[in-house]
Structure 1
Amino acid sequence: MSFPSDIEKASHDHVEEFDPVAFSELDQEHHDFLMQRHGSVQLDPLPSSDPLDPLNWPDWKKNFEILLIAFQTFSSTFMAAGLTPAFEPMAEAYGVIVPTASYFTSAQIAALGVMPLVWVPMMNAYGRNGFLTVSTLICAGLNIAGGFCTTYGQQMATRVLVAVFISTASAAGSSVVADLAFSHERGKKNGWWSVALVVGTPAGPFFCGFIQQHAGTKWIYFVFAFMNFAQFILWIFADETVYYRHGPQPEQKGFLRFLGIRKNPDAKLSLSVFFRPFRLATNFNVVMAVIAASVTFCYANIVLVVELPQAMGALFNLDAQQISYQYISLIIGSLIGEVLAGPLSDYCMKRCIAKRGGKRVIVDRLWISYNGFLCVIVGLIVWGVYLYKAVPGHWKISPLIGGAVASAGNNIVATVLVTFAIDSAPELAPDVGLFLNVARQTFGFLGPFYFPAMFTNLNFAGSAGLMSALVLVFGAGIIAFTHFIGARKA
């Protein structure tokens, strides 16, 4: 069932810290299967001998599933931020002020943070594929309806509902990667959906600025609908990644089977399950990673995306299309950050494991995060200082270079810390993704309420200094402390 190119070759690159008890219990048939499929039995986690086990799927199939969840993760932030170029025309059409129109985005950020707490436990219990497939079709219909809304209340209802249903994917990335990837490749594979989440924020205003300029607001919603329908088609061809390891795979009949929904006997759905992610507040490593990632995401992503139209648009007299060009810098920076993050993170772990004589210490992964924090701090200072010095009406690229550097750093930090958090509690990977998502989205949701006052009172240079200090203390500082504590215990 596998192609030769899909078989992972036996080399030190694929040898991991594995469970010796599980290894000792392998029967000969299981051992031979793993050697034929993976070229090694030293795998974490250890797959079953079932070819249908997602860990045993061909690499192309695993990558398809992860890229698909990354695409839907991308669309969640793309659609929330993509309305930015349309705030002014929507405010005029609905008879409200521009700050009130901006609540279309703020409301979606809040929903994207909270709703995964509901969706993810349900997907763990009944499978992810059915929920992800149906939700995209519902979102397509809601976005078509958004193009025909005539009142503020109608549009707010469609935006909130879109966020509610698209959020099925916004915190499921870590779960899908945990279902499909071994620990030695989680850094790279988590980076795919992590960069999609981050890039979606500047990509939305970038593409939608052109749409707003040449086709009008309603076509922004229609483009969203096209994206959702494409996702719906792709999910039809995807397979379920939730795997039952303690007996025959559960089956469902009738309409539920048609929807791809099946009950997993391993998952017990109760009220306590929906609050379980908050138990990770007692896990020191996870909490430190979540705080650092949330602060960095807010000040190296949200603030740059939200303030760019007001800052550069007003300062340099730019129209919607010209404003959209500015977001290219943030997209390029994020992509560069991912190139430097996931593969470099995994490579660093392999080197550290080799130097420690085969011992795997999860805090070793944090070495790469310091590069990200440094880029964020330097990038924010360049962005703020050059905006402060800019002459009105005379466009300069200098602030955008700073924004690109900060975006690259943010993606390095996000990829490394997400993987570190999951390594700290691998058995709770879905809960880690939820806990991180709630914290990051909530902190990001609060930002736009105080950003204007901060820039008014401190100007761009002073605000950049303040944000850099916060990243230094609550980002790099607490991660360095975590690194120190973990290294001493190693």
Structure 2
Amino acid sequence: MSTPSIAPSIASDMEKGTPSHVENTPIGITADLDPEHEQYLISRHGSVQLDPLPSADPQDPLNWPDWKKNYEILLIAFGSFSSTFMAAGLTPAFETMAEEYGVTLETAAYFTSAQIAVFGVLPLFWVPLMNTYGRKFFVTFGALACGVLNIGGAVSTTFGQQMATRVLVGVFVSTVTAAGSSVVGDLAFSHERGKKNGWWTLAFVVGTPSGPFFTGFIQQHAGTKWIFYVFAIMNFIQFGLWLFATETVYTRSNPVYHQSKVLKVLGIRKSESRQFHWKMFFRPLKQAANFNITLAVIAASVTFCYANIVLVVEMPQVMIPYFHLSPQQLSLQYISIIVGSFIGEVLAGPLSDWWMKRCTAKRGGNRVIADRLWISYNGYFLVIIGLIIWGVFLFQAKPGHWNIRPLIGAAIAAAGNNIVATVITTFAIDCNPSKAADVGLYINFVRSLYGFLGPFYFPYMFANLNFAGSAGLMCGLVLLFAWVPSIIAHVVGLRRAK
């Protein structure tokens, strides 16, 4: 959702290419349109060559005014930004919180890693419910609940209390992180989805390093409590904005809904055409049976953990004791990840799209999805080079004497991670485009859980292998469990294409 960089990977990658969750009328059968429907579409959109083809109902989200569509998508973007902003935003306060709660700095890092795990698991729960009963209620209530819980975080006095508020914040904030591609799919035509998905995915990506960047100044000048109060203010602003939003779930084939007075007040509605079943919660996990998708999940999970989580979550544990940085100084270290993430995001999508067009043209119009994996090798190379620079220069650095060279490595690794995540996720979706949403949720689930485990052993790895040795180990894991699986999927895909 590019979550701690809980982001560059989890969202920006999870949702690219995800189709609409609105039931669509097939495009291209415009000859069967009745005159009134055709005239309505021409007057509203200037064309009937639209994918998906809207109905003649003004309540159809595809027929809404552009300002109304953009309002909904920007709300999703704001919520996505806030979710990763808050998860990673506690890192400058880890030292203070560790002292206050009587735990180690490594244990304090679990406040963030626990939310990573929740981000990965809970979308499996929320997405079926939101697609069946509507999204507005869940995201509105989620924002309100997070605001209350963040106030609770400000007054927590024990580690257990604080951990409970962080986990529950992750539970409710994942409503908005799970809705991004669904809302864009409901509101945007196929030729617009890349740009509109880019709004919220970029916000999700930038939120991760932006959280600790800004909260470092808050921690330095106002204290830990005000970090939570700022989080709560952001949530209550979202809650107010969601009250003016409109439900985007719309069943085009049969727009008839059942609503009691109570459900109408709450904003919950049930469509006759959308039947809920508990099996919907487990459907994304069926993608594990697909060989290519499973290899992609392994590659994405390993790269995300060692080129993303380790850089964001471990930053205070590495930089504070090593260079004696203040919270404000620590926040400035995240600029490297912000810059690297932007560079990687720019290089990932446009470059792989250009490469696929070139390969398809050379093959006489035959599109082979494995061709996209060539671009992922650039990402793996940058990840390995970046981790080596980061680890070696940290190992060589003199305690108390800060230098920028490890941060250059962090920026390079962050750029490589974004390239890998975007290309690998797009490849996985191409392997089963009809189940793109399930593929994205499956990747997000495994990647987040693997990333959650990292902070439990990172401190022991650094203590026993030092920074240079740890970087070498992580590079070896990326090479063996990420790059090699990509090569296997690439070779098998090219052979099948012959």
TM-score of Structure 1 vs Structure 2, range by shorter chain: 0.7 to 0.9
The one of 421, 445, 464 equivalent to 1:457 is 464
Report 1:286-325 matches (<5 A): 286-325=293-332
1:27 aligned onto 2:35 = no
Report 1:218-367 matches (<5 A): 218-250=225-257, 252-355=259-362, 360-367=367-374
User: Which TM-score applies when normalising by structure 2?
Assistant: 0.85
Identity %: 67
1:476 aligned onto 2:480 = no
Note if contact 2:27-2:50 (Cα within 8 Å) is conserved in structure 1: no
1:485 aligned onto 2:492 = yes
Q: Tell me the amino acid that sits aligned with residue 317 of structure 1.
A: H
User: Which TM-score applies when normalising by structure 1?
Assistant: 0.86
Q: Tell me the amino acid that sits aligned with residue 131 of structure 1.
A: F
Q: CA deviation at 1:449?
A: 0.7
Q: Tell me the amino acid that sits aligned with residue 385 of structure 1.
A: V
Q: Tell me the amino acid that sits aligned with residue 163 of structure 1.
A: G
Q: CA deviation at 1:196?
A: 3.6
Note if contact 1:140-1:229 (Cα within 8 Å) is conserved in structure 2: yes
Note if contact 1:178-1:429 (Cα within 8 Å) is conserved in structure 2: no
Corresponding residue for residue 163 of structure 1:
170
Identify if the C-alpha distance between structure 1 residues 284 and 129 changes in structure 2 by more than 3 Å, giving closer, same or farther.
Answer: farther
Identify if the C-alpha distance between structure 1 residues 272 and 296 changes in structure 2 by more than 3 Å, giving closer, same or farther.
Answer: same
- What are structure 2's unaligned runs of at least 5 residues? 1-23
Q: CA deviation at 1:355?
A: 5.0
Q: Tell me the amino acid that sits aligned with residue 23 of structure 1.
A: G
Identify if the C-alpha distance between structure 1 residues 95 and 386 changes in structure 2 by more than 3 Å, giving closer, same or farther.
Answer: closer
- Tell which has more relative contact order, 1 or 2 (C-alpha 8 A, sep 6+): 2
Q: 1-side partners of 2:228 and 2:216: how far apart?
A: 13
Q: 1-side partners of 2:151 and 2:71: how far apart?
A: 27
Q: 2-side partners of 1:425 and 1:55: how far apart?
A: 25
Aligned length: 472
Q: 1-side partners of 2:107 and 2:437: how far apart?
A: 35
Q: 2-side partners of 1:262 and 1:342: how far apart?
A: 37
Q: CA deviation at 1:462?
A: 1.9
Note if contact 1:385-1:460 (Cα within 8 Å) is conserved in structure 2: yes
Q: CA deviation at 1:442?
A: 0.3
Corresponding residue for residue 4 of structure 1:
none
Corresponding residue for residue 80 of structure 2:
73
Q: Which moved more, 1:409-418 or 1:270-279?
A: 409-418
Q: 2-side partners of 1:405 and 1:40: how far apart?
A: 45
Q: Which moved more, 1:163-172 or 1:358-367?
A: 358-367
The one of 60, 74, 95 equivalent to 1:88 is 95
Give me the CA root mean square deviation. Answer: 2.9
Identify if the C-alpha distance between structure 1 residues 343 and 114 changes in structure 2 by more than 3 Å, giving closer, same or farther.
Answer: same
Q: Deviations over 1:66-120 (max 9, x none)?
A: 4432332232222222222222222332333333333322322222222222211
1:388 aligned onto 2:389 = no
Identify if the C-alpha distance between structure 1 residues 468 and 189 changes in structure 2 by more than 3 Å, giving closer, same or farther.
Answer: farther
Q: What secondary structure does 2:139 align onto?
A: helix
Corresponding residue for residue 438 of structure 1:
445
1:412 aligned onto 2:412 = no
Q: 1-side partners of 2:423 and 2:307: how far apart?
A: 15
Q: Which moved more, 1:90-99 or 1:455-464?
A: 90-99
- What are structure 1's unaligned runs of at least 5 residues? 1-18
Q: 1-side partners of 2:270 and 2:74: how far apart?
A: 25
Q: What secondary structure does 1:23 align onto?
A: coil
Q: CA deviation at 1:121?
A: 1.1
Q: 2-side partners of 1:87 and 1:21: how far apart?
A: 52
Identify if the C-alpha distance between structure 1 residues 253 and 342 changes in structure 2 by more than 3 Å, giving closer, same or farther.
Answer: farther
Q: 1-side partners of 2:442 and 2:419: how far apart?
A: 19
